[in-house]
Structure 1
Amino acid sequence: GPGPGPGGRSSIILPVHNSECWLDECLESVLEQDFKETMELSVFNDASEDSSAEIIERWKVKLEDAGIPVIIGNNDSSQPRGVGFAKNQAVIQSSGTYLCFLDSDDVMMPQRVRLQHEAAIQHPNSIIGCQIRREPLESTERYTRWINNLTEEQLLTQVFTSHGPTVIMPTWFCSREWFYHVGKFDEGGKGVPEDLLFFYKHIEKGGEVFRVDHCLLLYRYHPQAATHSVLEGTIWNHRVRFLEDRVLSYWISFTIWNAGKQGKKLYRSLSPANQKKVTAFCDVDEKKITKGFYTYEESEERPKPKIPICHFREATPPFIICVKLVSTAFSFS
């Protein structure tokens, strides 16, 4: 094909593990891209035991006939090494200036690479995302609405809120240079939220987040998806650590808005130094306020710490607002 255009080539990064039922549609969507510059597909097959390998080989012929080179890497052992490893390998074996991440159960709209590539040229230190369509449609309505409607500012402020990055992993597009600057995905394997950890490092290094406001990906929801193997507790702990590093370390004191389960859970998850900064819990629930204070029973200290519970009108900022909103869990102000 023609040499790389002004933006260089884009590599589609596709980790695969037992994906036979989705792969045809996924790879078809690579073929259908309307991107006019050079593009390649980099697949890493992580110990699949189904017919994924044959499907990939079959598509390699079709894609290369259409001028899209395909690089295939394999983990031939009996044990998958996990999605962090597979993504890193797919990146290492590829050569594009830009990386377009794709999950084997998702389907790209034809404009995806073109529009995200344009955005990436404008925003070199950003992770570029896009809006998504969920399938089945009703599976995670609130989550989808949240993902698609975050404002530009919220893409950063809500980093603390969500269960995962504000720009979801299967929509990521960024430059190779920036990817290596952040430093690749965690390869801990099952149970590691590798996208969330990468996203935190990205933010810590001054990275930005930009979303192309077009629906460029059909994001499939199914119970076998790897996402469900990451324990809620693991994600909660990473989020609390990140909140402590990025926010609480700069605060001398603060109020936790919610004297119920979520607020107390956050309090107990904080480091002892940050627990000492909590001046009060505040709430609107008369029953909790009448109690007057929360005693931290598990504390080693004598006497045990008692934190006042007051009405939010009497409370002093700054606040950590701690509410259970099904799809989001803490925000701060």
Structure 2
Amino acid sequence: MSSEDPEQRDRRSEVDMNPPKRLRTAESHTGTELEVEKSTVDVSIIMPVYNASCWLDECLQAIVDQDFTGSMELSVFDDASTDDSRKVVEGWREKLEARLISVVVSGHYSPKPRGVGFAKNKAISQSCGQYLCFQDADDIMLPQRIRLQYDACVLHQNSLIGCRVQRVPEGSTERYTHWINTLSQHQLITQVYTSHGPTVVMPTWFCSRKWYLKVGAFDEGGKGVPEDLLFFYQSLRQGGGLSRVDECLLVYRYHEKATTHSVTEETIWKLRVDFLQERVLSQWENFTIWNAGKQGRKLYRCLSPTNQKKVKAFCDVDENKIQKGFYTYEESKERPKPKIPILHYKVASAPFVICVKLDMTGGILEENLNSLQLKEGIDFYHFN
């Protein structure tokens, strides 16, 4: 029996992990091709792949069709696919290189995938672009994507740059797609605590390599780990900005095999609560939770003891909840148990954490907030 440990086997099974950079060639005045000295290219398209062969032809054709005139490379890392994904990518090498897009492909043959974070990190480490364009293998970039996001990123070197999307099949995740496409620049920052996840969604990310290196690698915990949200929050901690090109530059595919479905709501909930406490609640002396129902009470129970003490009231529009007068925190070890007042929103005071879902009240929530003349990011933050 071999004494080789699993990590050693994984390392041995990785193929072409550091292949030589294949860069664009330049033509001399005599007409002969000269190899360009090993250096960076303008943009590396970062593509982790796992069992994506049915989508790759559309995805790769869209890369060939880009109208960007700078230098590009495609960096693919195959995360133990069991289909012919690697073969499909290799079949496009000639077309890509004819378009002067250099191609780097590697991967591993371990018994199971190591996860999206691992594959992204590997694809980045073998690439050499000054800027990184993240591309999911099941999505399709529109011809102007790289050109417009590159131009935006040159101006915002320490930011994650996104874009608007077209969701397919049409009508899937309608509320989510509306949210992605209609957030204002201000809301890209203020709504980072909502259950939708990153306000600049991962399949649209474009950033400088220097910013990726500043933030640090993606979490490699594997299945069930929201590596995009973890990176997104870490980018904000480092002082990173957020921006969006307000054009539709990506066809964003919805399907049941998407890796996002492996992340549990509870995992996301905990990350959001922790980030809210770190970035917002730590700055407030006290606050009101807007929603005396299930979601508001759940938020309260998940807060640290210090932040629970800052909750001066719940507020609501439901007269039945308001008439109860108080919410008693039965799980508390304090004696007497904490009793938090339940008020009508009109007599409650800011700042608020809003635990009511957006676009689910027929505009009533938004009207109520507007009636109080509150400013998002100062007087309230959305949590749900």
1:135 is displaced (CA, Å) by: 0.5
Amino acid across the alignment from 2:227: E
CA displacement 1:236-258 (0-9 Å, x = unmatched): 11000000000000111111111
Matched, 1:62 2:95: yes
Q: Is 1:242 the equivalent of 2:275? A: yes
The structure 2 residue matched to 1:154, chosen from 167, 183, 187, is: 187
1:138-168 CA-to-partner distances (Å, cap 9, x unmatched) read 1012211111111111111111124211011
Distance 1:115 1:318 in 2: 38
How far off its partner does 1:62 sit? 2.0
- Listed as ranges, the gaps of 5+ residues in structure 2 are 1-24, 27-35, 361-380
CA distance in 1, matches of 2:347, 2:208: 49
- Aligned partner of 2:382 in structure 1 is 331
**Which residue does the alignment assign to 1:53?**
86
How many residues matched?
328
**Alignment partner of 1:240: what SS?**
helix
Q: Which residue of 1 aligns with 2:5?
A: none
Residues 16 and 48 of structure 1 are in contact (CA less than 8 Å); yes or no, is this contact kept in structure 2? yes
Aligned partners of 1:73, 1:296: CA distance in 2, in Å? Answer: 54
Quick one: structure 1 residues 34 and 205, their matched pair in 2 at CA, closer, same or farther if it must change by over 3 Å? same
Q: Distance in 1 between matches of 2:106 and 2:305?
A: 46
Residue 314 (structure 1) shift:
2.0
Give, as a single letter, the amino acid of the residue that structure 1 aligns with 2:60.
L
**Aligned AA for 1:155?**
L
Counterpart mapping for 1:9-48 below 5 A: 9-48=42-81
For 1:302 and 1:63, locate their aligned partners in 2 and report how far apart those are by CA, in whole Å: 69
| 1:292-311 deviation line (CA, Å, top 9, x unaligned) | 10111111222211111111
Give the residue type in structure 1 aligned to 2:318: D
1:145 aligned onto 2:196: no
Matching residue within 209, 215, 218 for 1:176: 209
Q: Which amino acid aligns with 2:304?
A: S
Q: Which residue of 2 aligns with 1:99?
A: 132
Amino acid in structure 1 at the alignment position of 2:244: R
Secondary structure of the residue aligned to 1:222 is coil
Deviation per CA, 1:79-107: give whole Å up to 9, x if none.
10000000010000000000000000000
SS in 2 for 1:61: helix
What RMSD, in angstroms, separates the aligned Cα atoms of the two structures?
Answer: 1.6
What amino acid maps onto 1:45 in structure 2? D
Q: Which residue of 1 aligns with 2:349?
A: 316
Matched, 1:274 2:307: yes
SS at match of 1:69: strand
TM-score, normalised relative to structure 2 = 0.83
Residue 321 of structure 2 corresponds to 288
Secondary structure, aligned partner of 2:57:
helix
2:236 is the counterpart of 1:185: no
Partner of 1:206: 239
Work out the CA distance in 2 between the residues paired with 1:169 and 1:137. 20
1:262 maps to amino acid: Q
CA contact (8 A) 1:163 1:235 kept: no
Give the letter aligned to residue 108 of structure 1: M
Deviations 1:22-42 (A, max 9, x none): 111111111111111100000
Q: Secondary structure at the match of 2:111?
A: coil
CA distance in structure 2 between the aligned counterparts of 1:49 and 1:212, rounded to whole angstroms: 36
* Aligned CA distance change for structure 1 residues 326 and 184 (closer, same or farther; 3 Å): farther
Shift of 1:234: 0.3
2:203 is matched by which residue type in structure 1?
P
In 2, the alpha carbon distance for the partners of 1:282 and 1:141 equals 29
Corresponding residue for residue 131 of structure 1: 164
Distance in structure 2 (CA, Å) of the matches to 1:132 and 1:315: 38
Secondary structure of the residue aligned to 2:346 is helix
**Residues in 1 aligned to 2:344 and 2:163: alpha-carbon distance in whole angstroms:** 41
Asked if structure 2 preserves the Cα contact closer than 8 Å seen for 1:262 and 1:324, the reply is no
> Aligned partner of 2:70: which letter?
E
**Greater CA drift, 60-69 or 286-295:** 60-69
Question: Match for residue 233 of structure 1?
Answer: 266
Q: Secondary structure at the match of 1:94?
A: coil
Q: Percent identical across equivalent pairs?
A: 64
CA–CA distance in 2 between the matches of 1:168 and 1:325?
Answer: 18
The answer to whether the 8 A contact 1:15-1:90 is kept is yes
What is the letter of the counterpart of residue 279 of structure 1? K
CA distance in 2, matches of 1:321, 1:234: 20
Say whether the 8 Å CA contact 2:41–2:73 is kept in structure 1: no
Confirm or deny: 8 A CA contact 1:258 1:283 kept in the other structure: yes
Q: In the alignment, what sits opposite 2:254? A: 221
Q: List 4+ stretches of structure 1 deviating above 3 A.
A: 1-4
Q: CA deviation at 1:8?
A: 4.9
